[in-house]
Amino acid sequence: MIVNETQANKCGSCGGMLKYNFSASAFKCDYCGNEYKAVAESSASDVSKANLNIGYILFKSELSAIKDTVMNWLVEGDRTPADILSEGSYNSLKQSYIPVFNFTGTYKGTYQVLSGKGKKQSEDQISGKFNVIATGIDLEDNDDYESLVECLIDSIDQSRIIPFDNIGGKEHHIWESLDEHEAWSAQGKLSAASSVYQELIINHGRSTENYKHYLDYNIESVSKVLVPCWSTWFSYNSSIYNVYVNDATGEIWGDKPIAYYSPPAKSKVFQKYALIGFGLWMGVLVLRAFLAATYPAKFGLKIKYDNLLLSEPAEFYWLMRGVIFMLVIPALMSTVFYGWKEKRFYAKLKDIRIRDLDLIRTGKRPEIFI
């Protein structure tokens, strides 16, 4: 399904800008207060006998800004491959619309208060109004998109919704949508029930486990809003990864390859510094012998030194040197200072990714998004 981009509609009476109001399910003029409805026939009579109001939100982010956002995201993360920018194969960023529904209406029925063991303690009447938003895509087949849709729904700016009719210009892709009946059954009804639970908790306390309610819903209006989202995909080592960007917030949802290299294990670090320590330990003996041969009057083997640096072999301080070089320092490097070494390891890999990113930004390497 394809829609087109245009300027926000204006009031036919005074020319003022129209803004969408979910509660009224209409576009209202800021200046004179006139209301307008962009209407399409409802495809699910059991959901609502009223008409289905349709609106959408124009893209506001520039392509260059979205590219920069995605590239910054790609180079982040300790487990991100160092060559992700140079070895990945990237596709163009596209503008897509994701459908969501807004349901408003009333509910009435009963609710029960349950004991900690689940026994009914009381039953009362309940009624009220609901206003909930539900995704327009099938999450049963696309459950990986649930967090993406939640992110988009949370960022909807009602003041930017414009009518779906009388539009022309640039074309964008719309994700395949459920009809309003399917959206209500899949998520809208659950969201309405959740709002009732929250109301019960606010009014009467306790937790959701203490309530059970039986409700009938009367849906008074259904609105469908097309929310802007950028999308792309890339391949790395023959695997495909999808990336989506919320046009309103710049928040990214997607997958990245995971590098399986990691800093040396603590045991390896200990072994490394133990070997270095052994070399230093033996090196002090060589130094002592060199000094004795070169300056016999001061460092001759007949001259005794009781210190960590120059004491003779098999003496106490000589043994202490061995303990420090081969046990204490390796133990510190593999425990206390291991976090520092780990950060240095990942920092070097990030430096490679940042270098590749700078080459792209300065034009020394082609853009990754075609």
Q: Are residues 90 and 60 in the same domain?
A: yes
Sequence-distant (≥ 6) Cβ neighbours of residue 131 within 8 angstroms:
22, 23, 102, 103, 104
What is the pLDDT, as a whole number, of residue 25? Answer: 55
Handedness of CA 78, 81, 83, 89 (dihedral sign): negative
Q: Are residues 119 and 13 in the same domain?
A: yes
**Residue at a domain's end among 254, 284, 316:** 254
The helix (run of H) or strand (run of E) holding residue 72 is helix 63-75
What is the pLDDT, as a whole number, of residue 166? Answer: 42
**Which residues in 29-46 are b (16+ Cβ under 10 Å) and which e?**
beeeeeebbbeeebebee
Nearest to 97 by CA among 20, 200, 2: 2
**Residue at a domain's end among 254, 289, 321:** 254
Has residue 17 been placed in a domain? Answer: yes
Has residue 355 been placed in a domain? Answer: no
Q: Report d(CA 250, CA 259) in Å as an integer.
A: 25
Handedness of CA 173, 68, 252, 162 (dihedral sign): negative
Q: Are residues 32 and 114 in the same domain?
A: yes
Has residue 358 been placed in a domain? Answer: no
Q: Are residues 75 and 132 in the same domain?
A: yes
Has residue 369 been placed in a domain? Answer: no
Has residue 352 been placed in a domain? Answer: no
Q: Are residues 247 and 292 in the same domain?
A: no
The range of the structural domain enclosing residue 319 comes to 266-336
Has residue 313 been placed in a domain? Answer: yes
Has residue 236 been placed in a domain? Answer: yes
Q: Are residues 235 and 87 in the same domain?
A: yes
Q: Report d(CA 33, CA 291) in Å as an integer.
A: 98
Q: Are residues 207 and 236 in the same domain?
A: yes
What is the pLDDT, as a whole number, of residue 235? Answer: 95
Contact yes or no for 369/90 (Cβ under 8 A):
yes
**Residue at a domain's end among 223, 254, 285:** 254
Q: Are residues 244 and 304 in the same domain?
A: no
Show the low-confidence residues of the chain (pLDDT under 70): 1-15, 17-27, 30, 36-52, 140-144, 164-172, 204-209, 211, 301
Q: Where are the beta strands (DSSP E) in the chain?
A: 2-4, 18-21, 26-29, 35-36, 39-40, 52-57, 89-90, 94-114, 120-135, 161-163, 171-174, 211-236, 239-246, 252-254
Q: Are residues 208 and 280 in the same domain?
A: no
Q: Are residues 231 and 287 in the same domain?
A: no
Has residue 368 been placed in a domain? Answer: no
The strand pair at 120-135 and 39-40 is best described as unpaired
For the chain, what is the domain count?
2
Q: Are residues 147 and 285 in the same domain?
A: no
Q: Are residues 7 and 92 in the same domain?
A: yes
